[in-house]
A and B are shown apart, each in its own frame.
Chain A
Amino acid sequence: MSSETPPTVPDALVTDAPAADDPEPWLRLHSRMIWVDLARTFLSLTPLALAMWVSGTDSNFVDNLWLFVGIAVFGVIGAGADFVRWVFTRYRITDDYVERRTGILTRKYRSVRRDRIRTVDIDAKLRHRLSGLRVVSVGAGQQASAGEAALSLDAIIEEDAENLRRLLLRDIVRGAPTDVAPEVDDNPDAEKVFATFNPRWVVFNMFNIWAYLMAIGLLWGGSWMGSMFGLDIAGWVAGIADWEALGWTRSAAIALVVVGTLGAIGLGINYFTEYWGFELARVSGEKGTVLRTRNGMFRTREVNRDDNRMRGIQISEPLLWRWMGMADTNVVTTGLEMWSMSQPTAILPRGPKRVAIPVSARVLATDPNPMEAELRPHPGAALRRRLVWGTMIAGVITALLAWLSSNGALPSGSFWYGMASWPVALLGGVISYHALGHAPAGDYVVVRSGTISRATTALQRSAVSTIVLRQSLFQQRLGLKTVGLATAAGWGGYYAIDLESDDALHFADDAAPGLLHPFLVTDPDRKPGDTGNPRQPQGY
């Protein structure tokens, strides 16, 4: 179902235009931006000047001068463009709309109806922080995958940003009267802090496949900078040990360990700078609440998520680090981008599951915690399905390799690699089977699946729109069905995979009470109360 166009909500953002003759005056972005741009220009010229001063007219240096020229040109153009943007940008907040005009050659006009606003984020890069400025991003009810924020103001002064956020977030509460906030507090200014920065969690953020990418970046940059000032780092590394005597395998192993360590340290430092001062809190507004995260050392970030839009929570555990209880915690909510690099749905840094679970209970404000619900295991037939699939995939790989080696495209005997993939595929099947689980839990339904990353999702029953039951021929033979719960929030659909057929109907009925009733009949093959199920799979 990838071809369908999303519902037409995003179009409405710009099409139903506000009245042009509104008396509300247009505002400029803050003028301090000009000074920031001047400082940026100056700073981006500094490395060039410094390098020229340090190295004089060394020929090696002149060859490499383009980098600093690049930095300077890039910085000056950026600052200049920023200044032009300041000159041509106006915004205003009327009773019904937030409006912004910008652009020189193509005038861009954008308006967002205030009752459509879902999120107001305040972000600050280092230069914004130093100058007391903030970037405000206003998110409206786009589909989760619809891309950019509806409207952003870069930059206004901190105090105005705070006021703007408060003003617009009050609308959120007014704009969604149908839902009840999970938690209503008597004291309107009360803040409930659910989690704060924990330096020990650095362990969870250091080990990652990105470590290698980061290390390679650091090494490349380092050796390049070194060559600039006459240091031969590559040569130094070559001379540090007798690599030829060590042999290819050992050298590679050492390189892997050293590079990995370097990358892990880099990621550790990154964790501290990114999550310094982290705080997850539920903040009461005038009529409702938002879930707020704040974090960052040099670049601060504050994300406010409207509680009225929250539909559930997802905790995912990557396979390789499951032994140490590593977990990513995300809220399932409407109107937030899922693919964004800044991960607005993440409410905790990557950390221990034993903390993530109680935090999720407090965020959902439900008791008992759906995340602690005992999940029903899936029938043994689901394991058989996975083992057969694993065997078939390994078989296809082997056949393909055999065909290629018979053609002479690959060395003969390479099909043994295909054979070797069989046990891996079987193991994957077993892991995947053990990840499966589902259960109704109060107002929520919980589903769990995933091999490489096991994701447990608690989704509000009232958020489920379409129920999808799916059965392949093979699943039919095994007496299995997959239940899909389509929802407007998060990834759009959450799946309970390979349930026993009867159980699938019950779970679908748990997720959307009453929806299936008009379409249910007494099974002609079995009378009610007859427990003998000819297709009942054996217990695992």
Chain B
Amino acid sequence: MNSIPETGIALRPPRNRIERRAITWWALQSLVFWGIILAAIIATQIFWEAARSWLIAPLVIVSVLLVVGTVVEPMWRYAVHRWETNDEAVYALSGWLVREWRVAPISRIQTVDAIRGPLEQMLGLATLRVTTASSKGAIDIGGLDKEVANEIAERLTTITEMTPGDAT
């Protein structure tokens, strides 16, 4: 392989965007997570008077996080998240405050799964999980249409089977 030029090159984002419904999915996730914490704090506020002055700061912080998690984070993630596969590699970009580009060669793939949590099932979404032999090398592509996810999973499995190597 030729080495890449010294300067003037950049990693382009992957080609495909994810489903718009993923915004709802992430918003619901945050709502459930922060909502439970907020409810717990409010309940404590009501039933335990002595703690009230202590709980103002946590209440404000959790409320802000709830708003950020349900409005800002999903929109931001939707703008960032992208994915792409070809015959040689799986490539995904994710994150919001911290962005992450992950590239795994097909020859190293061990398993390909389409995973669907309860919220995802409700929205007809699926997460594609591609694992390699490394415990830190998995690629998750969330917010795909369930049909698309199954189709990619099948295609990747076929390519993986045709690619020689013991995947370690």
B96, chain A: closest CB distance, angstroms:
9
Indicate if the CB atoms of B53 and A466 lie closer than 8 Å: no
Contacts A7-B131, A470-B99 known; A493 to B9 CB distance under 8 Å? no
**Which chain A residues numbered 110 to 167 have a C-beta less than 8 Å away from chain B?**
143-145
A518 within 8 Å of B (CB atoms): yes
- Is B134 in the interface zone, CB < 8 Å from A? yes
B3 in contact (CB, < 8 A)? yes
Q: A178-B165, A465-B134, A493-B136 are in contact. Are A520 and B11 (CB under 8 A)?
A: yes
Q: When the two chains form the complex, which single residue of B98, B104, B129, B166 contacts A466, counting CB atoms closer than 8 Å?
A: B104
User: What is the interface of chain B mostly: helix, strand, loop, or mixed?
Assistant: mixed
Contact partners of A493 in chain B: CB under 8 A: 134-137
A466, A469, A523: the one contacting B8 at CB < 8 Å is A523
The answer to whether residues A143 and B97 also contact, given A467-B102, A468-B102, A513-B1 and a CB cut-off of 8 A, is no
Alpha-carbon distance between A492 and B137 when the two chains are bound, in angstroms: 8
Give the residue of A473, A505, A519, A530 whose beta carbon is less than 8 angstroms from that of B91. A519
C-alpha gap A488/B74 in the complex (Å): 32
| Least Cβ–Cβ distance between A402 and chain B, in angstroms | 12
Give residues 85-113 of B contacting A (CB, 8 Å): 86, 88-89, 91, 97-105, 108, 110-111
Cross-chain contact B100 with A470 (CB below 8 angstroms): yes
- Residue A509 at the B interface, CB < 8 A? yes
Bound: A519/B135 CA distance, A: 24
Contacts of A1 on B, CB cut-off 8 Å? 136, 138, 140
- Once the chains bind, are A472 and B97 in contact (CB under 8 Å)? yes
Whether, in the assembled complex, B7 has its beta carbon less than 8 Å from a beta carbon of chain A, the answer is yes
Q: Give Cα A147 to B166, complex, Å.
A: 23
Q: Which of B14, B54, B100, B132 contacts A519 (CB 8 A)?
A: B14
Residues of A near B53 (CB, < 8 A) are 407
- Asked if A526 is at the interface (CB within 8 A of a chain B CB), the reply is yes
Q: Mark A503-539, 1 if CB is under 8 A from B, else 0.
A: 0011001001111111111111011111101000000
Quote the shortest CB–CB distance from B133 to chain A (angstroms): 3
Q: Mark B118-137, 1 if CB is under 8 A from A, else 0.
A: 00000000000101111111
Contact B103 A515 (CB under 8 A): yes
Measured between beta carbons, the chain A residues less than 8 angstroms from B129 are: 4
Identify which of residues 455-479 in chain A touch chain B, using a CB-to-CB cut-off of 8 Å.
Answer: 465-473, 476
Known interface pairs A506-B4, A526-B8, A528-B5. Does A465 touch B89 (Cβ–Cβ under 8 Å)? no
Q: Does A502 contact B (CB under 8 A)?
A: yes
Query: Cβ of B27: which chain A residues have Cβ within 8 Å of it?
Result: none
CB-CB nearest in chain B for A484: B136
Contact B103 A467 (CB under 8 A): yes
Residue of A nearest to B84 (CB): A519
A15 within 8 A of B: no
Cβ contact within 8 Å between B1 and A514: yes
> In angstroms, how far is the closest chain B Cβ from the Cβ of A310?
12
Contacts A465-B104, A509-B3, A515-B103; is A492 near B11 (CB within 8 Å)? no
Which A residues touch B5, using CB under 8 A?
528-529
Which A residues are in CB contact (< 8 Å) with B99? 470-472, 476
Contacts of B103 in A (CB 8 A): 466-467, 512, 515-516, 519
B10 at the interface (CB under 8 A from A): yes
Chain B nearest CB from A53 CB (Å) reads: 56
In this assembly, does A289 line the interface, its C-beta being within 8 Å of a C-beta of chain B? no
| Contact yes or no, B86 A517, CB < 8 A | no
Q: Are B110 and A7 in contact (CB under 8 A)?
A: yes
Chain A residues within 8 Å of B134, by CB: 465-466, 486-488, 492-493
Q: Report the minimum CB–CB distance from A269 to chain B (whole Å).
A: 37
Q: Does A432 sit at the interface, judged by CB under 8 A?
A: no
* Residue pair B98, A528 in contact (C-beta under 8 Å): no
Asked if A465 contacts B97 (CB within 8 A), the reply is no
- Determine whether A59 belongs to the interface, using a CB cutoff of 8 Å to chain B: no
| B143 → A minimal CB distance (Å) | 17
Residues of chain A lying within 8 A (CB to CB) of residue B57: 403
Q: Is B38 an interface residue, CB under 8 A from the partner?
A: no
User: 9 interchain pairs (CB within 8 A)?
Assistant: A465-B133, A466-B108, A506-B6, A514-B1, A515-B103, A519-B11, A519-B14, A519-B91, A530-B8
Ranked 10 nearest A-B pairs via Cβ:
A486-B137, A493-B136, A488-B133, A466-B137, A514-B1, A528-B8, A492-B135, A486-B134, A465-B108, A523-B10
